[in-house]
Structure 1
Amino acid sequence: MKCTDMEKQLEDLKQQLEKQCFINKELQRQNKDLEIRLQEKERLLQQLQSQDSEFPGHSGNEVQEFRKSRAAVIAPEPIAETLEISSTRVKKNATETSLIVKAIQKNDFLKRLDDEQTTMMVELLVLFKFKPGEEVIKEGSEGDSMYIVAAGELQVTQAGQDLRTLTTGDVFGELAILYNCKRTATVKAKSSVRLWCMERQTYRTIITNKSKKKREQILGFLKTARTLKDLNDVQLSKIIDSMEEVKYQDKAVIVREGTEGNAFYIILKGEVLVTKNVSGHQKQIRRMGKGEHFGEQALIREMLRTATCTADGPVTCFSIDKEVFEETIPIEQLELFDDSKVMQQDAEVPEKSSPSSTLRFKDLVPVMYQEGRYQGDPVTLGVGGFGRVQLMTTLNYGKYYAMKQVSKKQIVVKRQEEHMLFEKKILKAIQCDFIVRLHATFKDTRYIYMVMEFCGGGEVWTKLKEVGRFDEPIAVFCTACVVEAYVYLHKKNIMYRDLKPENLMLDMKGYAKLVDFGFAKELNRGDKTYSFVGTPEYMAPEIIKNQGHDFAVDFWSLGILIFELLAGSPPFSSSEPQKIYAKILDGVLKYPPYLGEAAKSIISKLCRPRPGQRLGNTKNGIKDIRNHRWFSSMNWHKLRVGQLEAPTVRLVRKGPAYINFDRFAQDQTKAEEEFSGWDKDF
């Protein structure tokens, strides 16, 4: 009896197991199904996001976008120092002005211009008329103007497909006022159309000259403050970079008598009444206007306010608080001068000359792919806007080189001659283990060639895409290498301006090196430069606002790099450049939950909107970055002398010289010849 019971139980168990197996199989099948559908969705999303458009459809909800493709770069354009503006001012009536202002306020990017910039936009827009069927913008052409529809209707098409209709008050082509970009759609007049138009050269020259004038004016105001009279222009410039613009409504109290003083103010616009409490009544002492300042004692002494300052009508001030001031200016006044002595000593150290400078062009031979679909073709390590980088070797030494080959014609078309010559000059002079070496340069009628040190570990960008995001020790190590490169460059008064994972290469030991100095620039301390340059996701707010920038932009991009290395995508990203700029100007950093406290702290300190408040750009300089707790495990001395075991080394694969690089097909086309002679010193 017991035996048959046992058999029955066994039979039941067997049936249950079979049933469970069947359910498991069914669940696996459904999972597989879901996975395929998810992949398909991901692919469609990517396709949608990769369609960069100046004419986005109106989708309300933003998807979390990851940077899957290499960043586009924007080369600096020369800017006219003086431009005859008066002739281009066009009178507008109240209705026209109102329409333009509304259009600006509705636009994601333009609404972030300040009041003065908006007023200038309104004044300088010029009216154009188009007949039905006329083309305003052609897809694929270079853009140099933005438009606001004053009246009429236009049709936007992309690759022959209708995208949308533009009507009165719509803005289009606005990216073109920032930089030279390809038009991504065609815009045709459907009816008779009137358009307000603004050219890039006009816009940038005005904004730039205005920023310069405002800066000079504030510098003049600061020089009249007794407390600051012993500071030099470099230090005063740092103060300007740390100041915030603040607005007050009529009757707002800016400073109250008897409270603790913690800020210094300069009046930019409006008037301020100064009153004192006398026997319980407010007695007016004086009235202050543009250029006058108050509260300077608060910067150096613990003092209570001795009077009340109230806005009489709307007031705009420039202000700096005590804490920021102390970070910016060393009270002992000497550090900056010592710094310049150090720089001079550095400059006098004779550079080691590169041993392979006897390299001859005819000694270089291309390395070929040994297997795969490109077997027998020359190895291409990378492809850029102006040319490509090839892997070369020499018959005698058997040493590897990366040779950058750039079309001379393209350089002239894009007006980049000066930048190329400067890149060569910088790289020739640099002897730093964290920056790729330039061994020799050559030219022929079509190309210039730069023969560089070969970094066999590949691009940090490629590695990041392979693993999704880096573990903290790898991110710390890569960033530390960049910090060392910055120390070297900034001492030589060189800004880098193009930091991103694509411009970091690993050598076979896993050490990271900066490459591509096309956007680097020499700048004296205290000076500013006004070009619109860089990679959108990595651009500092002051570049987008045309306020003039300096070395502080390198610290901003360092914060963005740390974020991208740890999260796999930069903090401000979108498939539409104008959305990226809008996000940068909003400055809201959203951290993924897995980011540690120290990482969040260093990123937020490097990505402060005011350049003078950024970590690395206050009075202790780069020392503050090295001393931040995120780098607590870093032995800086061992890093400099190359004695650290690099955690990145596990990302470097062993095999043929090109194993760590993406593969590229051979380019059979030849660049046009170019004979203007700009490259005579190459």
Structure 2
Amino acid sequence: MEAKLKELQQKLEKQCQINQELQNENRTLEKRLKEKEKLLEDLQSHLEEADRLSQRSSSDGLEVRQSRAAVMAPEPIPEDMDISSTRVKKTTSERAQIMKAMQKNDFLIRLDEEQISMMVELLSSLDRCPGDNIITEGTEGDSLYIVAAGELRVTQAGRTLRTLTSGDVFGELAILYNCKRTASVKAVTAVKLWCIERQIYRSIMAIKSKKKREQLMGFLKTAHTFKSLSDEQLSSIIDSMEEVKFQENEVIVREGAEGNTFYIILQGEVQVTKKVNGQQKVIRKMGQGDYFGELALIREILRTATCTALVPVTCFAIDKEAFEETIPIEILELHDDPDLLENTQTSKKESSVSSLQLKDLVPVLYQEGRYQGNPITLGLGGFGRVELVTTLHHGKYFALKRISKKLIVQKRQEEHVLFEKKLLMDIECDFIVKLYATFKDSRYIYMAMDFCSGGEIWTKLKEAKRFEENITVFVAACVVEAYAYLHKKDIMYRDLKPENLMLDSRGYVKLVDFGFAKKLQRGQKTYSFCGTPEYMAPEIIQNQGHDFAADFWSLGILIYELLAGSPPFSSSEPQNIYARILDGVMKFPPHMGEAARSLISKLCRPRPGQRLGSTKNGMRDVRTHRWFNNMNWHKLRMKQIDAPTLKLIRKGPCYINFDRFPFDKIQDEEEFSGWDRDF
């Protein structure tokens, strides 16, 4: 019995020893696990710090754009959208929470008070349970969210990025345009969200801008000085006016001071006083729609009375200098003189290709390299690709643009594609790519266009890092000629960037890709959100309505990018780009000359009506700027200048100046809605 007890005791002691060893191992494993968790936290912290530093450095200096720019296709605003149904009553504390959240967001803080107020009113409420997916990575987004209560987790490719709690904003890019979500957001606890859909947001912004414009137009029409001006001229004045605010009891204009500004009261009350026998006598009080200072715009005068804000006042104002740039003494000149426009000797489309058929076009193949024997792709776009083809009959090269009909319908771009075809068929300009013929089948529409053998300006810029000034002047001058032709025909281009500029065999630049072009009557505005983020004018981002002035803004951005190698407002995150554009702080590299800085600054003025090209002399002001002093515009139109860009063009096979792309054998789905019957 004692032997058995001793044996059991030994076994028990051995088991206790094993248990002790296991506990020690567990403690060791727990310690290692904690060390690894701390290491992960440190790595995450370093990553976030690096991201913050990179964002800080990108705001201090230039961030080089290495990839082709993303493109935002125009999305129509529904004409009959009922936004009243989304109104949700909110308590004072809820409104305060929403306002505080918006003020912390880089993009939303740049909206004006009225826009913020309308958004707060139209945000709808959304309740979600733990585990519910709010946003799924890779899907297309259409809503912005503000967290009212609860906790959510943000993940990307399965990795946790951060936690969202009360007052946080997410998904804001989706209210600007149709974009894919870059991360997933899931409810950790029960959550309450405020949200607004893109179409509702865009509708209220467009409605607000249109109403304000109509209101200002009505006010201006009552001003005696402006009675002889047309709606188009009044619209130009509105484009040059700026919103200014005054605090209670602040003097807006003082009697006896030199006058140079005209004001329209949008909100608040202004008291007018005049000194009589040494005492200030109240003459009258003015409110919304009243105006003062109009005579200061047309002659040198001293103020005859003092105007003081009785309460906080908001005015729209224009000063004498901006007014003189906008409205001439005689009739406003909308276009350049005929002799300053494009060369009217442009050759007509060659009759030898007027009867071109799709079956006549034969793909040109790569002669060497990894893609040898494959059809040559000249470029890829959001809706299809451009291929190099030739004909058996007359051996001419064409760039054949092939676009998916299914994708066009999905993205609601039918109207834009049909307009692009009609526009290009009518164009005869040496600085714009020619369209020779269009075709269609069950899957694609095709456009046979000029083959510009010199390649894209984008590719050349990446090779050169940045262009010499004489090359940039030449490229910009070609764009000015293309703009002059289009604007004379009341056509906005809206997608200027190096990717859309091609070099012909002589080094002359041609504008390509008219998918975003739009015909617009002078004095009118359009409210589409479209273009390339780095090149978008502030009024497009803010949904204030835009016109031809947006093209001049993008010309300034193009000149900057060609000279610096990167656009002035750039970031890997689109919302950062938009925030920087709205901030309007443009930093020039030391090597950029004073004349170039002057031209860019004048083209990129925040107020569209004050931009060079949009003022009373139109395109003439751009052409006569000192940066173009050495440009002979007549010789340029006659193509009698030796293009400095010629040295950028490599010699070799016809495709040597283009990036190489693999052949795509996958065919798009068929589409039979019939929208392309006129193709």
The reply to whether TM is greater than 0.5 is yes
Q: Which among 281, 287, 301 is matched to residue 279 of structure 2?
A: 281
Partner of 1:352: 348
Detail structure 1 runs of 4+ shifted over 6 Å in the superposition: 56-60, 340-343, 348-351
Partner of 2:190: 192
Q: How do residues 354-503 of structure 1 correspond to structure 2 at under 5 angstroms?
A: 354-355=350-351, 356-503=353-500
The runs of 5 or more residues in structure 1 that have no matched partner are 1-47
Partner of 2:56: 61
Residue 371 of structure 2 aligns to which amino acid in structure 1?
Answer: Y
Answer whether contact 1:57 1:163 (CA < 8 A) is retained: no
CA distance, structure 2, for counterparts of residue 272 and residue 207 of structure 1: 28
Change (3 A) 1:100 1:58: farther
Q: CA deviation at 1:65?
A: 1.7
CA distance, structure 1, for counterparts of residue 436 and residue 655 of structure 2: 20
Residue 106 of structure 1 aligns to which amino acid in structure 2?
Answer: K
Q: CA deviation at 1:571?
A: 0.1
SS across alignment from 2:483: helix
Partner of 2:222: 224
Partner of 1:545: 542
SS across alignment from 1:476: helix
Answer whether contact 1:74 1:535 (CA < 8 A) is retained: yes
Partner of 1:139: 137
Answer whether contact 1:391 1:401 (CA < 8 A) is retained: yes
Residue 120 of structure 1 aligns to which amino acid in structure 2?
Answer: M
Q: How do residues 311-330 of structure 1 correspond to structure 2 at under 5 angstroms?
A: 311-330=309-328
Change (3 A) 1:59 1:555: closer
Q: How do residues 625-644 of structure 1 correspond to structure 2 at under 5 angstroms?
A: 625-644=622-641
Q: Which among 642, 647, 658 is matched to residue 644 of structure 2?
A: 647
CA distance, structure 2, for counterparts of residue 322 and residue 678 of structure 1: 51
Residue 242 of structure 1 aligns to which amino acid in structure 2?
Answer: S
Partner of 1:16: none
Change (3 A) 1:78 1:351: farther
Q: Which among 97, 100, 110 is matched to residue 98 of structure 2?
A: 100
Structure of greater Rg: 2
Partner of 1:213: 211
Normalised by the length of structure 1, the TM-score is 0.90
Q: CA deviation at 1:350?
A: 12
Residue by residue over 1:475-525, the C-alpha shift from the partner in whole angstroms, topping out at 9 and shown as x without a partner, is 000000000000000000000000000000000111010000000000000
Change (3 A) 1:662 1:554: same
Answer whether contact 1:274 1:307 (CA < 8 A) is retained: yes
Residue by residue over 1:329-365, the C-alpha shift from the partner in whole angstroms, topping out at 9 and shown as x without a partner, is 01112534xx49979x99x999934422211111110
Residue 422 of structure 2 aligns to which amino acid in structure 1?
Answer: K
Q: CA deviation at 1:301?
A: 1.0
Residue 461 of structure 1 aligns to which amino acid in structure 2?
Answer: W
CA distance, structure 2, for counterparts of residue 314 and residue 235 of structure 1: 30
Residue 166 of structure 2 aligns to which amino acid in structure 1?
Answer: T
Change (3 A) 1:219 1:590: same
Residue 427 of structure 1 aligns to which amino acid in structure 2?
Answer: L
Partner of 1:40: none
Partner of 2:88: 90
Answer whether contact 2:346 2:430 (CA < 8 A) is retained: no
Q: How do residues 213-292 of structure 1 correspond to structure 2 at under 5 angstroms?
A: 213-292=211-290
**2:569 is the counterpart of 1:572:** yes
Residue 182 of structure 1 aligns to which amino acid in structure 2?
Answer: K
SS across alignment from 2:310: strand
Residue 672 of structure 1 aligns to which amino acid in structure 2?
Answer: E
Answer whether contact 1:482 1:514 (CA < 8 A) is retained: yes
Change (3 A) 1:269 1:106: same
Residue 641 of structure 1 aligns to which amino acid in structure 2?
Answer: M
Number of equivalenced pairs = 627
Residue 129 of structure 1 aligns to which amino acid in structure 2?
Answer: D
CA distance, structure 2, for counterparts of residue 370 and residue 248 of structure 1: 70
SS across alignment from 1:662: coil
Residue by residue over 1:546-583, the C-alpha shift from the partner in whole angstroms, topping out at 9 and shown as x without a partner, is 00000000000000000000000000000100010000
Q: How do residues 285-300 of structure 1 correspond to structure 2 at under 5 angstroms?
A: 285-300=283-298
Residue 222 of structure 1 aligns to which amino acid in structure 2?
Answer: L
Partner of 2:676: 679
Partner of 1:121: 119
Answer whether contact 2:332 2:616 (CA < 8 A) is retained: no
Answer whether contact 2:274 2:282 (CA < 8 A) is retained: yes
Residue 551 of structure 2 aligns to which amino acid in structure 1?
Answer: D
Residue by residue over 1:520-558, the C-alpha shift from the partner in whole angstroms, topping out at 9 and shown as x without a partner, is 000000000001010000000000010000000000000
Answer whether contact 1:351 1:429 (CA < 8 A) is retained: no
CA distance, structure 2, for counterparts of residue 334 and residue 432 of structure 1: 26
Q: CA deviation at 1:397?
A: 1.2
Q: CA deviation at 1:83?
A: 2.2
- Percent sequence identity over aligned pairs: 71
Change (3 A) 1:334 1:586: closer
SS across alignment from 2:302: coil
Answer whether contact 2:336 2:619 (CA < 8 A) is retained: no
CA distance, structure 2, for counterparts of residue 515 and residue 74 of structure 1: 17
Residue by residue over 1:619-642, the C-alpha shift from the partner in whole angstroms, topping out at 9 and shown as x without a partner, is 000000000000001010000010
Partner of 1:32: none
Change (3 A) 1:313 1:351: farther
Q: Which among 597, 601, 620 is matched to residue 617 of structure 2?
A: 620
CA distance, structure 2, for counterparts of residue 533 and residue 377 of structure 1: 34
CA distance, structure 2, for counterparts of residue 61 and residue 310 of structure 1: 42
Answer whether contact 1:74 1:534 (CA < 8 A) is retained: yes
Partner of 1:511: 508
Normalised by the length of structure 2, the TM-score is 0.90
Residue by residue over 1:88-118, the C-alpha shift from the partner in whole angstroms, topping out at 9 and shown as x without a partner, is 1111111111110011000000100000011
SS across alignment from 1:238: helix
The runs of 5 or more residues in structure 2 that have no matched partner are 1-43
Q: CA deviation at 1:280?
A: 1.6
Partner of 1:24: none
